[in-house]
Amino acid sequence: EKRASAGGRPPVGKTREEAFCNVGKPCSPDVDCEFSAWGKWGDCSASCTGVKERSRQVHKYGTGGGGYCSGALKQVWPCNDGATAPKECGQGPPLDCVLSSWSSWSKCSATCGGGQRTRSRHVDVRAARGGRCPYHTLTEAEECARAHCDEPGPVDCEYGDWQDWGACPKCGRQRTRFRDIVRHARSGGRSCD
Protein backbone atom coordinates (compact mmCIF):
# COMPACT_ATOMS: atom_id res chain seq x y z
CA GLU A 1 0.00 0.00 0.00
CA LYS A 2 1.41 3.42 -0.96
CA ARG A 3 0.73 6.62 0.91
CA ALA A 4 0.89 10.13 -0.47
CA SER A 5 4.19 11.92 0.07
CA ALA A 6 5.96 15.10 -0.97
CA GLY A 7 2.65 16.96 -1.31
CA GLY A 8 1.07 14.27 -3.48
CA ARG A 9 -2.60 13.46 -3.28
CA PRO A 10 -3.70 10.45 -1.27
CA PRO A 11 -5.18 7.57 -3.25
CA VAL A 12 -8.93 7.66 -3.66
CA GLY A 13 -11.01 4.52 -3.43
CA LYS A 14 -11.76 1.55 -1.33
CA THR A 15 -9.13 -0.73 0.09
CA ARG A 16 -11.53 -3.66 0.01
CA GLU A 17 -14.55 -4.60 -2.04
CA GLU A 18 -17.16 -7.25 -1.36
CA ALA A 19 -19.72 -8.74 -3.71
CA PHE A 20 -22.64 -11.06 -3.13
CA CYS A 21 -22.59 -14.53 -4.57
CA ASN A 22 -25.02 -17.45 -4.69
CA VAL A 23 -27.93 -15.04 -4.20
CA GLY A 24 -31.21 -16.94 -4.28
CA LYS A 25 -29.50 -20.29 -3.94
CA PRO A 26 -31.00 -22.16 -0.98
CA CYS A 27 -28.64 -22.95 1.87
CA SER A 28 -29.99 -26.49 2.06
CA PRO A 29 -30.77 -28.52 -1.07
CA ASP A 30 -34.21 -30.11 -1.43
CA VAL A 31 -33.65 -33.69 -0.28
CA ASP A 32 -36.44 -36.15 0.55
CA CYS A 33 -36.27 -38.32 3.65
CA GLU A 34 -35.23 -41.91 3.08
CA PHE A 35 -35.80 -44.75 5.51
CA SER A 36 -33.60 -47.83 5.45
CA ALA A 37 -35.28 -51.13 4.63
CA TRP A 38 -36.97 -52.86 7.55
CA GLY A 39 -34.63 -55.23 9.38
CA LYS A 40 -35.51 -58.87 9.89
CA TRP A 41 -38.00 -59.78 12.59
CA GLY A 42 -36.28 -60.67 15.85
CA ASP A 43 -36.87 -63.86 17.78
CA CYS A 44 -40.14 -64.32 19.62
CA SER A 45 -39.93 -62.96 23.17
CA ALA A 46 -41.64 -66.00 24.72
CA SER A 47 -42.50 -69.57 23.84
CA CYS A 48 -46.16 -68.74 24.52
CA THR A 49 -47.87 -65.61 23.18
CA GLY A 50 -44.81 -63.43 22.78
CA VAL A 51 -43.97 -60.60 20.46
CA LYS A 52 -41.25 -60.07 17.91
CA GLU A 53 -39.80 -56.75 16.82
CA ARG A 54 -38.11 -55.25 13.80
CA SER A 55 -36.72 -51.79 13.18
CA ARG A 56 -35.44 -49.45 10.53
CA GLN A 57 -33.39 -46.25 10.59
CA VAL A 58 -33.61 -42.86 8.96
CA HIS A 59 -31.11 -43.32 6.12
CA LYS A 60 -31.23 -39.69 4.97
CA TYR A 61 -33.03 -36.79 6.67
CA GLY A 62 -35.17 -34.44 4.59
CA THR A 63 -33.75 -30.95 4.04
CA GLY A 64 -34.83 -27.73 2.34
CA GLY A 65 -38.18 -28.19 0.61
CA GLY A 66 -37.82 -31.98 0.46
CA GLY A 67 -40.12 -34.45 2.17
CA TYR A 68 -39.46 -35.06 5.85
CA CYS A 69 -39.51 -38.38 7.67
CA SER A 70 -42.76 -39.41 9.23
CA GLY A 71 -43.48 -42.96 10.26
CA ALA A 72 -42.56 -45.89 12.43
CA LEU A 73 -38.95 -46.80 13.24
CA LYS A 74 -39.80 -49.92 15.27
CA GLN A 75 -42.66 -52.42 14.92
CA VAL A 76 -43.92 -55.22 17.16
CA TRP A 77 -45.99 -58.24 16.08
CA PRO A 78 -47.48 -61.14 18.04
CA CYS A 79 -45.85 -64.57 17.78
CA ASN A 80 -46.45 -68.06 19.23
CA ASP A 81 -50.03 -66.91 19.60
CA GLY A 82 -53.40 -68.41 18.75
CA ALA A 83 -53.11 -71.12 16.11
CA THR A 84 -49.30 -70.80 15.96
CA ALA A 85 -48.87 -71.23 19.74
CA PRO A 86 -47.61 -74.55 21.12
CA LYS A 87 -50.32 -76.74 22.66
CA GLU A 88 -49.16 -76.18 26.26
CA CYS A 89 -49.73 -72.41 25.94
CA GLY A 90 -53.52 -72.58 26.17
CA GLN A 91 -53.85 -72.88 30.00
CA GLY A 92 -55.69 -70.03 31.79
CA PRO A 93 -57.66 -67.05 30.48
CA PRO A 94 -56.28 -64.99 27.57
CA LEU A 95 -54.22 -61.94 28.55
CA ASP A 96 -53.90 -59.07 26.05
CA CYS A 97 -50.68 -57.09 25.87
CA VAL A 98 -50.48 -53.63 27.43
CA LEU A 99 -48.40 -50.82 25.92
CA SER A 100 -46.78 -48.01 27.87
CA SER A 101 -47.65 -44.39 27.17
CA TRP A 102 -45.63 -42.58 24.55
CA SER A 103 -42.46 -40.90 25.81
CA SER A 104 -42.02 -37.18 25.28
CA TRP A 105 -40.71 -36.16 21.89
CA SER A 106 -36.92 -36.01 21.72
CA LYS A 107 -35.14 -32.72 21.13
CA CYS A 108 -35.30 -31.68 17.49
CA SER A 109 -32.14 -32.47 15.51
CA ALA A 110 -32.08 -28.86 14.18
CA THR A 111 -33.29 -25.41 15.19
CA CYS A 112 -34.25 -24.37 11.65
CA GLY A 113 -34.03 -25.68 8.12
CA GLY A 114 -35.72 -28.98 8.99
CA GLY A 115 -34.99 -31.66 11.52
CA GLN A 116 -36.43 -34.80 13.05
CA ARG A 117 -37.58 -35.83 16.48
CA THR A 118 -38.65 -39.22 17.81
CA ARG A 119 -40.69 -40.73 20.60
CA SER A 120 -41.11 -44.30 21.77
CA ARG A 121 -43.14 -46.66 23.92
CA HIS A 122 -42.72 -50.28 24.94
CA VAL A 123 -44.76 -53.36 25.75
CA ASP A 124 -45.44 -53.25 29.51
CA VAL A 125 -47.32 -56.56 29.65
CA ARG A 126 -46.83 -59.19 26.98
CA ALA A 127 -49.85 -61.09 25.69
CA ALA A 128 -50.31 -64.57 27.11
CA ARG A 129 -52.51 -67.62 26.56
CA GLY A 130 -54.02 -66.49 23.30
CA GLY A 131 -54.42 -62.85 24.30
CA ARG A 132 -54.16 -60.22 21.60
CA CYS A 133 -51.23 -57.97 20.87
CA PRO A 134 -52.00 -56.47 17.48
CA TYR A 135 -49.38 -54.83 15.32
CA HIS A 136 -48.06 -51.69 17.02
CA THR A 137 -45.56 -48.94 16.35
CA LEU A 138 -43.06 -48.64 19.21
CA THR A 139 -40.90 -45.80 17.90
CA GLU A 140 -41.93 -43.07 15.51
CA ALA A 141 -40.38 -39.99 13.93
CA GLU A 142 -41.78 -36.69 12.75
CA GLU A 143 -40.46 -33.49 11.25
CA CYS A 144 -39.71 -30.40 13.32
CA ALA A 145 -38.06 -26.97 12.94
CA ARG A 146 -39.08 -26.77 9.29
CA ALA A 147 -38.85 -22.96 9.14
CA HIS A 148 -36.08 -21.63 6.93
CA CYS A 149 -32.98 -20.42 8.70
CA ASP A 150 -32.88 -16.63 8.52
CA GLU A 151 -29.89 -14.93 7.07
CA PRO A 152 -28.42 -12.30 9.39
CA GLY A 153 -29.68 -8.78 8.70
CA PRO A 154 -27.55 -6.19 6.94
CA VAL A 155 -24.50 -5.02 8.85
CA ASP A 156 -22.96 -1.67 7.89
CA CYS A 157 -19.24 -1.09 7.67
CA GLU A 158 -17.84 0.73 10.67
CA TYR A 159 -14.63 2.70 11.09
CA GLY A 160 -12.68 2.77 14.33
CA ASP A 161 -11.45 5.93 16.02
CA TRP A 162 -8.84 8.09 14.33
CA GLN A 163 -5.32 7.55 15.55
CA ASP A 164 -3.25 10.51 16.72
CA TRP A 165 -1.79 12.81 14.10
CA GLY A 166 1.64 11.87 12.95
CA ALA A 167 4.61 14.21 13.37
CA CYS A 168 4.89 17.13 11.02
CA PRO A 169 7.84 16.72 8.64
CA LYS A 170 10.70 19.23 8.85
CA CYS A 171 10.02 20.87 5.54
CA GLY A 172 6.36 21.80 6.08
CA ARG A 173 4.58 19.00 4.28
CA GLN A 174 1.40 17.27 5.38
CA ARG A 175 1.00 15.15 8.42
CA THR A 176 -1.24 12.11 8.51
CA ARG A 177 -3.44 10.07 10.72
CA PHE A 178 -5.23 6.79 10.13
CA ARG A 179 -8.20 4.80 11.23
CA ASP A 180 -9.01 1.13 10.73
CA ILE A 181 -12.16 -0.59 9.63
CA VAL A 182 -13.40 -2.41 12.71
CA ARG A 183 -16.37 -4.07 11.01
CA HIS A 184 -16.80 -4.80 7.31
CA ALA A 185 -20.20 -4.61 5.63
CA ARG A 186 -22.05 -7.86 5.07
CA SER A 187 -25.49 -9.11 4.08
CA GLY A 188 -26.29 -5.95 2.08
CA GLY A 189 -25.02 -3.40 4.61
CA ARG A 190 -23.39 -0.08 3.57
CA SER A 191 -19.72 -0.34 2.73
CA CYS A 192 -17.06 2.06 3.98
CA ASP A 193 -16.26 4.70 1.37
**What DSSP state is assigned to residue 153?**
P
Helix residue spans in the chain (DSSP H): none
Statement to judge: residues 66 and 41 lie in one domain: yes
Statement to judge: residues 44 and 125 lie in one domain: yes
Tens-digit pLDDT profile for residues 29-79:
788 888 899 999 999 888 877 888 999 988 888 877 788 888 888 888 888
Statement to judge: residues 129 and 162 lie in one domain: no
Statement to judge: residues 43 and 13 lie in one domain: no
Using DSSP, state whether 144 is helix, strand or coil.
strand
Counted domains in the chain: 2
Whole-number pLDDT of residue 86: 75
For residues 67 and 35, the answer to whether their CB atoms sit within 8 Å is: no
Whole-number pLDDT of residue 38: 93
Statement to judge: residues 16 and 57 lie in one domain: no
Q: What is the dihedral of CA 122, 127, 128, 132, to 10 degrees?
A: -170
| CATH value at residue 51 | 2.20.100.10
Tens-digit pLDDT profile for residues 23-40:
556 667 788 888 899 999
The span from the CA of 110 to the CA of 31, in Å, is 15
The span from the CA of 14 to the CA of 29, in Å, is 36
Statement to judge: residues 125 and 46 lie in one domain: yes
Domain span including residue 170: 1-27+150-193
Which of these, 59, 58, 66, 60, lies nearest to 30 by C-alpha position?
A: 66
**Count of all residues that appear for the chain in the document:** 193
Above pLDDT 90, what percent of the chain? 9
Statement to judge: residues 53 and 137 lie in one domain: yes
